[in-house]
Amino acid sequence: MNVIEHGRGKPPLDPHLKALENEAIHIFREVAAEFERPVMLYSIGKDSSVLLHLALKAFHPGKLPFPLIHIDTGWKFPEMIAFRDQVVAKHGLELISHTNPDGLRDNVTPFTHGSARYTDIMKTQALKQALDMGRHDAAFGGARRDEEASRAKERIYSFRTPDHAWDPRNQRPELWSIYNGMIHPGESVRAFPLSNWTEVDIWRYIQAEQIELVPLYFAKRRKVVERDGMLIWAEDKRLELLPGEQVREEMVRFRTLGCFPLTGAVRSEATDLDEVIAELEIATVSERQGRAIDRDQSGSMEKKKREGYF
Amino acid sequence: MSSQTLSHAAQSIDSSDETPLAGAQAALAGRQARPLRFITCGSVDDGKSTLIGRLLWDTKAVKEDQAATLRRDSTGKQNELGLPDFALLLDGLQAEREQGITIDVAYRYFATDRRSFIVADTPGHVQYTRNMATGASTADLAVLLVDARAGILEQTRRHATIAALMGIRQFVLAVNKIDLADYEEARFRAISREFREIALSLGVRQVTAIPVSALKGENIVLRGDGAMPWYDGPTLVEVLEKATQRTGQTTGFRLPVQRVSRPGEGFRGYQGTVAGGSIKPGDSVVVLPSGVEANVKAIVTYDLVRNAAVTGDAITLVLDRPVDVARGDMIAAIDQRPQTGRAFNARLVALSPDGIVPGKRYWLKAGARRQRVMVRPTASLNLTSGNWDDATFLSVNGIGTAELDFEDTAIFDAYETNRETGAFILIDPETLNTVAGGMIDGKRSRAGCFDALPDADRASITLPARLLEAFLKTEFARSHAGEIRVNGPEQVDEE
Ligand SMILES: Nc1nc2c(ncn2[C@@H]2O[C@H](COP(=O)(O)OP(=O)(O)O)[C@@H](O)[C@H]2O)c(=O)[nH]1
């Protein structure tokens, strides 16, 4: 068998990124070996792209020994879905795309049900359904401990009860790089190979490894409408304009990707990776981007509403 | 853009008066070292949260949204300098915020332009041994905090003992709240002298003592020259930047095999992370426990077929002949082999409320190898006196020595010589929880051990499995655990 070398001519990673990469590969292999039906959650965003790249590295020259799950809410940017299908084809991956049938039946949308309920039904419940249907005892996710304070105590193997509950007081101690993968039937773990990565690490790794991203991460003239201090993508017919709202074409990009009605764009001129990384730095120092919160987390939007944003 | 980035980052660290803003993490340019992992230990109110908060804040690791939340949540709780309450930054879980306590190990990330850091932040009170042991297991260095007014406490000695036991060989003593002790040099000198002696008694020679005010940010990231002209040593961050990474791998090549890769067409590779030494094509290796020898044919990675691999590298190893290798085996240097046998001595830290019960059979996991083990505690460490007292049981948070007896061959290095291949966890076969962390002292060979007996002195009996379980629970069987070997119907309760 001819072993393909993907990194010919590419400069080696710096020791920092190399260490993070090695750790992630170790976790991938450990989970794949210890669990019966692992699966990888693939959300199409930058962290998922890094996660997938690391998985491909971990099992090379073999194929991924598990499928990918994508929870499709029906409200993703079309560019995301196109990119997903392209990636799946390129690497010969097995993809399970799941949409919550109850949510479809009840016509659950971010506009009619509020972002919190929408997110619960179309994302959280949908994910549980998909995991249960596949009887998956381990699911890889791209979460990082630096994302927010409540994640700082998350384990690399995050233990879940049969109904997928996470009890922060009842997690197993994790010492060295020895992971306890023993579970009772019905229990499962979420495994987080990127636990020790920071956002900057993610961007630097994408740059060093030339990982392809959804074009939405790069600035382009896009139609947007300003709502609650966010710039919402306005090229989908299902977005109904409120009185006084106006669609404008602006040079924007997205810092995180999710469901388009809940994801704010930032005004930007950064059309490639180097420019995005440069902008990341300047933006945080000068606060040029103002208060626009562009996270796809319903929590932040909920909070804004309760604080009287409306 | 890299040179620009570097100078910008250096600037933002040096200038204290500009508003520290979110996420301006130093240097996107390549870093020339692995992240340094360290642990912080201190008693309640010594200022640990303030110190970590200060590290994150002054290195600009606090993200924009976190900073905004912090400013909002800490209205009214601001300290005298008008800074937010740093502790709020750290107490992440709802339950903790409500109760104002820290219940578990948390990991924090920050970076300077020279290096990045992972801090294991462990609570100073509840279950501190368990949490400290967890945080210390991966740490290269320990920062021990004392209140300058109170000096060294019994707690300090305990923390130092646990850190040393877990293999940490670099200590930083942060003498905090020096502002409340009038920045008194004599006080600082006395405390550091006393601590140095404790460290030496634990075999730790690399000790740096620093007078700091976490609250005012003196000698943490920025110098405290103004207030302490008498101190010309490094700041905390300077020490962390220069700390050595304890590779601790003084053994030969080790590859614990995680999985066997057989994608087809005659390719057969052994996947794992190099846990000691280095390897190149042509080197001779031995597969353990089988003892079969072979030569390395290729080192495969996604990027390249490489001409060498070193400790820490995740690789796929191809050997020059078909040999039988399975997950849990170890591929090792032929001339520097690990210890193999059925009886070992170890130190244990008990992590679960049930403690460690004599003669109980646990699962032991070391690297990718999982096997049955009978554990007999022999002594427990009194953290107050520093003495090892005879013991047959370890209660939760207890540290002890124990005899391990395996049903099949175990493969280890002493923890002293290799932290990867000398460490293990114990798993309770019923609850499946991780109940202990362990460190191998070495192989045990002594009279009374099954393996030491000549064949003529051994006899076997065969029992129904359920009777065997009952027999093994008897006092007699427990007190002779090292002399009994259990064979077959193996691992019935595994699935
Ligand atoms: N004056 C002074 N107060 C400090 C210093 N460090 C911490 N404190 C205060 O000591 C108290 C306890 O600090 P905290 O960080 O919560 O302690 P922890 O329990 O060790 O995490 C708080 O009121 C801090 O503001 C210091 O260097 N100087």
Identify all chain A residues contacting B163, using CB atoms and an 8 Å cutoff: none
In a domain, A70, yes or no: yes
pLDDT band at A302 (very low <50, low <70, confident <90, very high): very low
Residues counted in chain B: 495
Ligand 1: which residue has its CA nearest to atom 4? B215
Q: Measure the CA angle with vertex B132, ends B128 and B138; round to 5°.
A: 170
Residues A230 and A181 in one domain: no
Residues 6+ apart with CB under 8 A from A90: none
- Does the pLDDT at position A78 exceed 80? yes
Which of B107, B121, B264 is facing A1, going by the closest CB pair?
A: B264
Residues 6+ apart with CB under 8 A from B325: B257, B260, B270, B287, B319, B331
3-state secondary structure chain A: CCCCCCCCCCCCCCHHHHHHHHHHHHHHHHHHHHCCCEEEECCCCHHHHHHHHHHHHHHCCCCCCCCEEEECCCCECHHHHHHHHHHHHHHCCCEEEECCHHHHHCCCCHHHHHHHHHHHHHHHHHHHHHHHHCCCCEEECCCCCCCCHHHCCCCCEEEECCCCCCCHHHCCCCCCCCCCCCCCCCCEEEECCCCCCCHHHHHHHHHHHCCCCCHHHCCEEEEEEEECCEEEECCCCCCCCCCCCCCEEEEEEECCCCEHHHCEEEECCCCCHHHHHHHHHHHHHHCCCCCCCCCCCHHHHHHHHHCCCC
Which of B273, B305, B433 is facing A26, going by the closest CB pair?
A: B273
Mean pLDDT of B487-493: 49
- Does the pLDDT at position A116 exceed 90? no
pLDDT at B475: 56
Residues A227 and A187 in one domain: no
Contacts 24+ apart (CB under 8 A), B9-15: B9/B112, B9/B113, B10/B113, B12/A285, B12/B60, B13/B58, B13/B59, B13/B60, B13/B112, B13/B113, B13/B221, B14/B222
In a domain, A4, yes or no: no
Determine whether the interchain pair A175/B300 forms a contact, defined as Cβ–Cβ distance below 8 Å: no
Identify all chain B residues contacting A58, using CB atoms and an 8 Å cutoff: 271, 314
pLDDT at B90: 62
pLDDT at B314: 98
Q: In angstroms, how far apart are the furthest CA atoms of chain B?
A: 81
Which of B30, B264, B368 is facing A14, going by the closest CB pair?
A: B30
Number of domains in chain A: 2
pLDDT at A310: 23
Phi, then psi, of A128 in degrees rounded to 5: -60, -45
pLDDT at B225: 81
A153 touches chain B (CB under 8 A): yes
Rg of chain B over all Cα atoms, to the nearest angstrom: 26
In a domain, A42, yes or no: yes
Q: In what order do the strands lie in the sheet with B116-121?
A: B106-111, B116-121, B36-41, B141-147, B170-176, B206-211
Helix axes A110-119, A298-306, angle to 10 degrees: 120
- Structural domain for A281, as ranges: 215-294
Mean pLDDT of B97-121: 78
Residues A28 and A140 in one domain: yes
CB atoms within 10 A of CB B125: 12
Asked whether B286 and B331 are in contact (CB, 8 A), the reply is yes
Residues A159 and A71 in one domain: yes
Asked whether B448 and B482 are in contact (CB, 8 A), the reply is yes
Distance B55 CA to ligand 1 centre (A): 14
Closest CA to B437 of B426, B448, B451, B453: B426
In a domain, A247, yes or no: yes
Residues A145 and A51 in one domain: yes
pLDDT in tens, B15-57: 222 222 233 333 344 567 889 999 999 888 899 888 998 998 8
In a domain, A241, yes or no: yes
pLDDT at A195: 95
Which of A17, A33, A278 is facing B1, going by the closest CB pair?
A: A278
DSSP state of B338: P
Closest CA to A144 of B136, B49, B118, B130: B118
In a domain, A259, yes or no: yes
- Does the pLDDT at position A289 exceed 50? no
Determine whether the interchain pair A182/B432 forms a contact, defined as Cβ–Cβ distance below 8 Å: yes
* 3-state class (DSSP) for residue B95: helix
pLDDT at B3: 33
In a domain, A43, yes or no: yes
Of ligand 1's listed atoms, the one at least distance from the Cα of B213 is 27
Residues A63 and A161 in one domain: yes
pLDDT in tens, B69-94: 556 555 544 455 555 566 666 655 44
Residues 6+ apart with CB under 8 A from B388: B379, B380, B381, B382, B401
CB atoms within 10 A of CB B454: 6
Of ligand 1's listed atoms, the one at least distance from the Cα of B178 is 27
The tokens of B270 are what? 């052994």
Identify all chain B residues contacting A183, using CB atoms and an 8 Å cutoff: 432
Q: Which comes out higher in pLDDT, residue B325 or B225? A: B325
Determine whether the interchain pair B261/A200 forms a contact, defined as Cβ–Cβ distance below 8 Å: no
Residues counted in chain A: 310
Identify all chain B residues contacting A63, using CB atoms and an 8 Å cutoff: 263
Cα distance between residue A233 and residue A225, in whole Å? 7
Cα distance between residue B43 and residue B181, in whole Å? 18
Instruction: Answer positive or negative: Cα dihedral of B237, B238, B239, B242.
Output: positive
Mean pLDDT of A183-196: 95
* Whether the bond into B289 is cis, omega within 30 of 0: yes
Structure-derived torsion over alpha carbons of residues B239, B241, B242, B245, reported in degrees to the nearest 10: 110
Cα distance between residue B376 and residue B360, in whole Å? 8
Of ligand 1's listed atoms, the one at least distance from the Cα of B216 is 27
Residues A37 and A176 in one domain: yes
pLDDT at B137: 95
- Does the pLDDT at position A204 exceed 50? yes
Cα distance between residue A213 and residue A43, in whole Å? 12
- Closest-CA distance, B488 to chain A, in angstroms, reads 21
Hey, which of A135-139, A226-230, B394-398 has the most confident mean pLDDT?
A: A135-139
- Closest-CA distance, A70 to chain B, in angstroms, reads 25
The tokens of B385 are what? 């006196």
Probe residue for ligand 1, chosen from B50, B52, B79, B131 as the CB with the greatest number of ligand atoms within 8 Å: B50
User: Taking all residues of chain A, what is their mean pLDDT, rounded to a whole number?
Assistant: 87
Distance B48 CA to ligand 1 centre (A): 7
pLDDT band at A31 (very low <50, low <70, confident <90, very high): very high
Of ligand 1's listed atoms, the one at least distance from the Cα of B44 is 19
pLDDT in tens, B146-160: 999 999 998 899 899
Residues A175 and A26 in one domain: yes
Determine whether the interchain pair B138/A184 forms a contact, defined as Cβ–Cβ distance below 8 Å: no
DSSP state of B65: H
Interface test with B, best of A34, A281, A307 (most B CBs within 10 A): A281
The tokens of A50 are what? 């890094």
Query: What residue in A sits closest to B315 (Cα-Cα)?
Result: A58
* 3-state class (DSSP) for residue B190: helix
Cα distance between residue B223 and residue A184, in whole Å? 53
pLDDT in tens, B354-413: 999 998 999 999 999 999 999 999 999 988 888 889 999 999 889 999 999 999 999 999
Residues A202 and A220 in one domain: no
CA B18 to chain centre: 37
pLDDT band at A207 (very low <50, low <70, confident <90, very high): very high
Domains and CATH numbers, chain B: 3-32+249-333 (2.40.30.10), 36-242 (3.40.50.300), 339-450 (2.40.30.10)
Identify all chain B residues contacting A200, using CB atoms and an 8 Å cutoff: 25, 28, 111
Distance B384 CA to ligand 1 centre (A): 26
CATH number of the domain residue A103 falls in: 3.40.50.620
The tokens of B19 are what? 């508003």
ipTM of the assembly?
Answer: 0.89
Determine whether the interchain pair B305/A3 forms a contact, defined as Cβ–Cβ distance below 8 Å: yes
Identify all chain A residues contacting B313, using CB atoms and an 8 Å cutoff: 22
pLDDT band at A308 (very low <50, low <70, confident <90, very high): very low
* 3-state class (DSSP) for residue B469: helix
Cα distance between residue B68 and residue B247, in whole Å? 39
Residues A75 and A166 in one domain: yes
Interface of A with B in 83-112 (CB under 8 A): none
Determine whether the interchain pair B267/A1 forms a contact, defined as Cβ–Cβ distance below 8 Å: yes
Residues with CB under 6 A from ligand 1: B 42, 44-50, 79, 87, 124, 176-177, 179-180, 213-215
- Closest-CA distance, A212 to chain B, in angstroms, reads 16
Residues A99 and A224 in one domain: no
pLDDT at B240: 96
Residues A183 and A73 in one domain: yes
Lowest-confidence region among B150-159, B183-192, B377-386, B451-460 = B451-460
In a domain, A148, yes or no: yes
pLDDT at A153: 80
Q: Which comes out higher in pLDDT, residue B132 or B29? A: B132
Asked whether A150 and B92 are in contact (CB, 8 A), the reply is yes
CA B131 to chain centre: 11
Of ligand 1's listed atoms, the one at least distance from the Cα of B90 is 21
